[in-house]
Amino acid sequence: MVQLHYFPANANAAPHMLLEEIGVEYDLVLVDRAKNAQKSRAYLKINPNGRIPVLVDDDLIVSEAAAIVLHLVDQNADAGLAPKIGTPERAKFYQWLIFLTNSLQEELMTWQYPERLAGSIRSVWPAPMRRRRTSSSAARNRAPVLSSTSSKIISRLTVPCSSATNSAPSTSISSCSRAGRAR
């Protein structure tokens, strides 16, 4: 049985949406950060790094959102959510997946939660300036073309980000539970 250990707004939306898209049966397991559950003895047995999300797929435990996404698309290749391994399109898929999980997500967290910035930076960059910087930074890093299979997966990864740019409705882990059952 597949389990996705999650906490809302904790980089687990992309793996969750892929589980939905693929249609596998899974359980959602809340790791309550408000109670520091990610540092509990039980959770540290699953993920010694104490990070969220984690995917448990039978005996396999995978952490880090990008690694979980790669595992899911590889295990469900017939779903056509990623280009074929060994192709130039697959290399671009890797590039964009890592960009979205490492670079864009960081920029969007800064935009959505400016109060987390250090006081001196925050006072220098008023909110509208931070928004323009994030927007132009993302635009500069845009690739000219994505293959149709890359764009399928990338579009699923960017839906959680789109609420920050007001270009599409936001998606939360609780709102896209069709097959998953939260505990």
pLDDT digits (tens, 9 = 90+) for 85-107: 999 999 999 999 888 877 877 77
Quote the mean pLDDT of the chain.
Answer: 75
The structure tokens listed for 171 are 């998606």
Which CATH number applies to 2-79+172-182: 1.10.3720.10, 3.40.50.720, 2.130.10.10, 3.40.30.10? 3.40.30.10
- HEC string for 21-80: HHCCCEEEEECCHHHCHHHCHHHHHHCCCCCCCEEEECCEEEECHHHHHHHHHHHCHHHC
The confidence band for 132, taking pLDDT boundaries of 50, 70 and 90, is: very low
| Residues in Cβ contact with 119 at an 8 Å cutoff, skipping those fewer than 6 apart | none
pLDDT digits (tens, 9 = 90+) for 22-44: 999 999 999 999 999 999 999 99
Contact 170, 160 (CB under 8 A): yes
The residues facing 56 across adjacent strands are: 3, 61
pLDDT of res. 74: 94
pLDDT of res. 163: 42
Spell out the domain ranges in the chain: 2-79+172-182, 88-165
The residues facing 63 across adjacent strands are: 54
The structure tokens listed for 110 are 């800064």
pLDDT digits (tens, 9 = 90+) for 49-84: 999 999 999 999 999 999 999 999 999 999 999 999
Q: pTM of whole model > 0.85?
A: no
